[in-house]
Amino acid sequence: MLSPDLIRIVSAINVGDKPRARTLLQSLLKTSPSAEAWYQASRVAEKPEHELICLQRALGYDPLHREARQRLNQLQPPAPPVEVAVAPAVKQAASSEQPAAPKTEKAKPIIPADVPLKKAGRRRRKRGTSFYLTIVGMILLSLSSTYFVMLVLGSPLPGRLRSLLGIASPVTEIDGVPLEQVPDAVFRIPPSRSSEVTQVEPLADILEPGIVHEYTFDARAGEEVAIGIQFFSPTAQRVSRNIAVLDPEGKDAASQCTRDRIIQGDNGAVITCFINRTGSWQVRLLGRVGESGGAYVVSVGRLMGDRSGF
């Protein structure tokens, strides 16, 4: 049964008075957030990426919320099935009149060329479901901030705040080469700003094209940390190549890290890094048109090592 506040919000939406519904929702989401409140917020969101954020938040409160789940499935259709490479001997046996003995070796998925492979000699541990739920939980928790409430409801205030803070001019080319054609641009563009991210408090922001955001965290040698990054823009589809991790010496730490994805699609990443140097590590995000941009959340959590904290 809907609360009196939600009844007033639904009534305003049904008669087309979305501005009043947004005003009521801004107050309700700050004081009594719920799955139904976030679902109603998705109905008055001005942009698809804002609607997606609201639906994700609603399912964070209630994964079984039917309307939110149905709408999210419409916005994020399932990906086509992964093709598998079948050994020639298996194909020949299938076409033969006499069935061949079953092979003990399973067919392996075809790996796209742009997916980085694991380094030889390093054993990669399997992550359990709880590991990813923890990362997703940290991301959803950060979406309850007042900034995101105003953002997804179409308030102009976040844009004004960002203008007052002074957003750096976007980079469109490097040494005369268009930004889209520079593979290592995330390393070559100076960050417009740098913020510290801790295990306790995930950070949320908006990334513009041609801009680099930098996040720092302290870690000790011997620790293993997980860096969670998730974009909520429907145009974010090649995020992986626009994320870089740097060690305390400012060098590319790709050899110390492995990557997975939080949800379906290349719109986020869980980067697990083995810390080989004590100091301040960096995570950089580059905005590219049609690849990485819009609202996102970044979080850092320690998986193993000493317990003295970051």
Residue 100 lies in a domain: no
pLDDT of residue 169: 73
Q: Are residues 181 and 299 in the same domain?
A: yes
Q: Are residues 180 and 63 in the same domain?
A: no
Question: What's the total number of domains in the chain?
Answer: 2
pTM: 0.51
CATH for 259: 2.60.120.380
pLDDT of residue 135: 58
pLDDT of residue 39: 92
pLDDT of residue 306: 44
Residue 120 lies in a domain: no
Residue range(s) defining the domain that contains residue 41: 4-75
Residue 180 lies in a domain: yes
Q: Are residues 63 and 178 in the same domain?
A: no
DSSP state string for the chain: ---HHHHHHHHHHHTT-HHHHHHHHHHHHHHS--HHHHHHHHHH-SSHHHHHHHHHHHHHH-TT-HHHHHHHHHHSPPPPPPPB---HHHHHHHHSSSPPPPPSSPPPBPPPTTSPPPPTT-PPPPPPHHHHHHHHHHHHHHTTSHHHHHHHTT-SHHHHHHHHH-PPPPP-EETTEEGGG-TTHHHHSPPSEEEE--SS--EEEEE-TT-EEEEEEEE-TT-EEEEEEEE--TT----GGGEEEE-TTS-B-GGGEEEE-SSSSSSEEEEEEE--S-EEEEEEEE-BTTTB-EEEEEEEEEEES-SS--
Residue 197 lies in a domain: yes
pLDDT of residue 149: 56
pLDDT of residue 133: 53
Running along the chain, 310 residues long, what does each successive block of 10 average in pLDDT?
Answer: 87 91 87 89 85 83 85 69 46 48 45 39 50 54 50 50 57 89 91 83 82 93 89 82 94 91 77 92 92 86 54
Residue 142 lies in a domain: no
pLDDT of residue 301: 83
CATH for 36: 1.25.40
